[in-house]
Chains A and B, each alone.
Chain A
Amino acid sequence: MSKKEWPLWEVFIRSKQGLSHKHVGSLRAADAEMAVNNARDVYTRRSEGVSIWVVESANVVASDPSEAGPLFEPANSKAYRHPTFYEVPEGIKHM
């Protein structure tokens, strides 16, 4: 019996035109085309989507959760990137 398992694929679904594809889960399939077909049956049985992306899980590069602190720290210390940082004199409109 062959022990070669089908690779794992991450599935992304666009629920309707105008919205981005969103990760919904994963599945196993022998190749990309079969992964799309399987994704239709597993993740869109109730018209949840109008478009499917599949990406082989092995190709996903992710940030390390244990490094999340230092990785995202630069954004935390820059309050001046938000409009609420700035004072607008009273009576000024449309800003």
Chain B
Amino acid sequence: MEKDNLEVLDRNFQDKVDREIKIEPKDYMPDAYRKTLIRQISQHAHSEIVGQLPEANWVTRAPNLRRKAVLLAKIQDEAGHGLYLYSAVETLGADREDTIDDLHSGKAKYSSIFNYPTLSWADMGMIGWLVDGAAIMNQVPLCRCSYGPYARAMVRVCKEESFHQRQGFEIVVQLMKGTKEQKEMAQESLNRWWWPALMMFGPNDADSKHTAQSMKWKIKRHTNDELRQMFVDVTVPQAEQIGLKIPDKDLKFNEETGHYDFGEIDWDEFWQVVKGHGPCNTERVAARRKAKEDGMWVREAANAYAEKRAKRNKKAS
């Protein structure tokens, strides 16, 4: 295509985005927009799928049948979220299996939070309350993302996430109404999850290389720091109400700004985990790779069965 032509197309594209007209799969879009979305949506999908693993760790040890049924339903939702998102990636022309193989080879990233281990039952509560809570902060604005299929998938996901957050908070509340040991278990769990939850919003705005362009394209609606502040502001009072102490000596409500001031995140830890050196990175990716390899016979069997059934139907007609 001629250069002038491309410039016109790019200008029309940005104009549509500025006027809040959604971009749909077959519409013209700049290559960089397409690539950014493929990267973001596939990594989002991987996060949903990998996110099943820390919770799967507690299915057989859930304290009662109700908790077990709820946990299973939540894990099934995460699988569903992954599927909505892989479908959205495919509308951009990406190959679903290639994106999954990128996860397995370590080329594609996923949310670093899932590289932390789930050591106690209280962690199931913290994940629902904090991790899904942070995910909701991130995902609600994505419902208005400029790319139609991603925005529509996010609407479905957000509806389901609020159950995840509430069930998690209920677990924590229950523990905080319990014995001294149960309260300690909840506090110990919060101590481990608080900072990684804040890291979920990504680097500070000054260090986030994609933010400005993503905001211009209306893929992102708020910066990392804005979302992180929103999360802190809603979560701190929740913790206080149930008697938990946020593990941050610098945390303080600022009367002037109307927001909580909070301490500096350990960015060295953040980058270590992003680069694959977190407590569970190797284990998580190995589990995903094994799941694909061990499940390959199911895919083949389904194909064989479909072929057999098609032949039989042909004969009958």
Contact between B80 and A6, CB atoms less than 8 A apart: no
Contact between B309 and A45, CB atoms less than 8 A apart: no
- Verify if B166 is at the interface (C-beta below 8 Å from A): no
Q: Which of A25, A26, A30, A64 contacts B302 (CB 8 A)?
A: A30
| A28: B residues at CB distance < 8 A | 96
Q: Which residues of A contact B (CB under 8 A)?
A: 1-2, 4-6, 8, 25-31, 33-34, 41-42, 45-46, 62, 64-66
Binding-face segment, B82-90, B182-190, B244-252: B82-90
- Verify if B286 is at the interface (C-beta below 8 Å from A): no
| B97: A residues at CB distance < 8 A | 5
Contact between B87 and A27, CB atoms less than 8 A apart: yes
Query: C-beta contact mask, B74-106 vs A, less than 8 Å → 1, else 0?
Result: 001100100110011011000011000000000
Chain A CB within 10 Å, residue with most, of B28, B87, B88: B87
Contact between A25 and B309, CB atoms less than 8 A apart: no
Chain B CB within 10 Å, residue with most, of A41, A42, A64: A42
| A5: B residues at CB distance < 8 A | 96-97
- Verify if B267 is at the interface (C-beta below 8 Å from A): no
A41 to B159, CA, bound (A): 16
Q: What are 14 A-B contacts with C-beta separation under 8 Å?
A: A2-B300, A2-B303, A4-B303, A5-B96, A6-B299, A6-B303, A25-B156, A26-B87, A30-B302, A34-B306, A41-B80, A64-B26, A65-B26, A65-B28
